[in-house]
Structure 1
Amino acid sequence: MRARDERIEELIAAAVADDLTPVERAELDDLRAVHPWIDDEIASLSRVAARAAAEGSGWRDLPVSAALRERVLGSASAVTAAGRSVSVAPRRWFAPALAAACLVVGIVTGFGVASLTAIDPEPSLAEPAPTGPVGTLGAVEPVAMRADPGIDVDADVIAHTWGTEALLEVEGLAVGETYAVVFVGEDGREYSAGEMLGSEVPIVCRLNAALLREDAVRMEIRDAGSDVVAGAELPSA
């Protein structure tokens, strides 16, 4: 259930590259109405692409070792094996994706140490998925959500240095109604992770709250009247 729709991925990539046809733009607008997270995804990727372009003038060529080449090629194979085909619209993905990769591994001249240390130290696609206790960065933690009749929720949470991410797939919410995703801390304080609209089709979204995973004790989905329609206690560290 967790795999993201390849067509949405393609349209997001085309939007970031400013390469949408009129028909594709209309299709993307329809999807935005159903999936509010699409705008956040486009904005996030656009910032990465803009940053890569700004840093481009400071790049320099470095010799590539055989070990590094093998690792990069291995990463590409892992992506393909996971079902995220790199053959979809290559003109749209490769340039910004490669630039972003260069920023992460730090081969750009003038790219400060402070900027590098701010990047969440999570593993690359070529490495095994991290596991560990609550608060392990990048570890996907399944959450058993109890929901009102007619509502089905598939949920995971992921710990990051900037907070806690919720991965949700939800069916059965009232169409057009607004729902909020909220994390509750140990002290009872509530932290918003964002909102979504009920839809006739399954909602697949990623939301973030400014609360460290080890400090979060509960996750809830609430309707416009603040009634909890789905929720779960989160294991403590």
Structure 2
Amino acid sequence: MRTPDDRWAELSAAALAGELSRAEAAEFDELRRADPAREREYAEMQDLVRRLRQGDLTWTAPRESGGLADRISASIAREDAETAPSSRDGGPVASRRRRTWWTPALAAACLVVGLVVGVGGANIFDRPVPSGPPGTLGAVEQITVSDDTAGVDVDAQLVAHTWGTEAYLEASGLDVGARYELVFVGADGTEFPAGEVLGTDVQIVCRMNAAVLRGDTVRMELRDTGDLVVAHAELPAV
């Protein structure tokens, strides 16, 4: 079931990417006028995007591991070459536990900025990056993912950032056309959405971001629209 927060997240991410239509811009302006808290949050996200574009914040690339980074980089390059129109259909589904209402928009904003940085400069996977135990900023963390649905195969790696936690996700066997949401869960049950993917008949390789520090999350779940967990990983303590 979609909620007003889902629509707010969609419009915020589209506004940060400069992709609002005239009707959407009017709708977004009305939402901001009606809720001063949302207006403040959007201003903070605008500042984050501005700082990333100006180089005030550093984009730290993870270390290549097992060929996953190369496949992600190649996937991004293919998307850029195809210049396919973006889609903003759908949003995070309602969760079983409480979640912070602004995190879907922030996660989406970080993803958009990350793609811009990757296209504008050298291949980010060519840069030297650190290594270390879970929670080390910029280091790739290998995690064990358990597949909870027959026929589904999911693998993932994590990267801790100062702004949140990034997941490198590989998935196959998902229902074609179905929506799946990646969620990080805190020790107190708070949920932090990291975005959604659509099931396809080919392997999915993507990067997803959540506005939660690595040390504040203990579990990662991939769910379908019915809130059924199709794969999960218990995360080591940091």
TM-score normalized by the length of structure 2: 0.54
**Number of aligned positions between the proteins:** 152
Tell whether 2:28 aligns with 1:4. Answer: no
Amino acid at match of 1:171: S
- The higher-RCO structure (CA 8 Å, 6+ apart) is 2
Matches within 5 A, 1:95-174: 96-97=120-121, 125-127=126-128, 129-147=129-147, 148-174=149-175
Larger Rg: 1
Distance in 2, Cα, partners of 1:11 & 1:144: 29
Alpha-carbon shift at residue 198 of structure 1 (Å): 0.6
Deviations 1:6-36 (A, max 9, x none): 764444455xxxxxxxxx44xx459x99xxx
Structure 1 segment 12-91 matched on structure 2, within 5 A: 12-14=79-81, 24-25=82-83, 28=84, 43-44=112-113, 48=117
The match for 2:234 is 233
SS at match of 2:121: helix
Q: Any idea what SS the aligned residue of 2:221 has?
A: strand
Identity rate of aligned residues, in percent?
Answer: 48
- Give the secondary structure class of the aligned counterpart of 1:180: strand
Change (3 A) 1:183 1:43: closer
Scaled by the length of structure 1, the TM-score of the pair is 0.55
Would the aligned equivalents of 1:12 and 1:42 in 2 still touch at CA under 8 Å? no
1:204: which partner in 2?
205
Structure 1 CA distance for aligned equivalents of residues 154 and 115 of structure 2: 30
Rate the CA distance shift 1:175–1:139 in 2: closer, same or farther, 3 A: same
Contact (CA 8 Å) 1:12, 1:41: kept in 2 or not?
A: no
Query: Cα distance, 1:143 vs. partner?
Result: 1.3
Partner-residue secondary structure (3-state), 1:170 = strand
Query: What letter is aligned with 1:214?
Result: G
- CA gap of 1:7–1:139, structure 2 versus 1, over 3 A, is closer
Q: 8 Å contact 1:180–1:221 — kept in the other structure?
A: yes
Q: What amino acid does structure 2 have at the position aligned with 1:97?
A: G
Whether the aligned pair in 2 keeps the contact of 1:171 and 1:203 (CA below 8 Å) is yes
Question: Structure 2 counterpart of 1:190, which letter?
Answer: E
Structure 1, gaps ≥5 residues long: 15-23, 34-38, 50-92, 102-122
Change (3 A) 1:176 1:41: farther
1:50-94 Cα offsets, whole Å, 9 max, x none, are xxxxxxxxxxxxxxxxxxxxxxxxxxxxxxxxxxxxxxxxxxx6x
Unpaired segments ≥5 residues, structure 2: 1-66, 90-107
Change (3 A) 1:7 1:217: closer
How far did residue 196 of structure 1 move? 0.7
User: Contact 2:72–2:205 at 8 Å: present in 1 too?
Assistant: no
Measured at CA, do residues 139 and 48 of structure 1 come closer, stay the same or move farther in structure 2, by a change above 3 Å?
A: closer
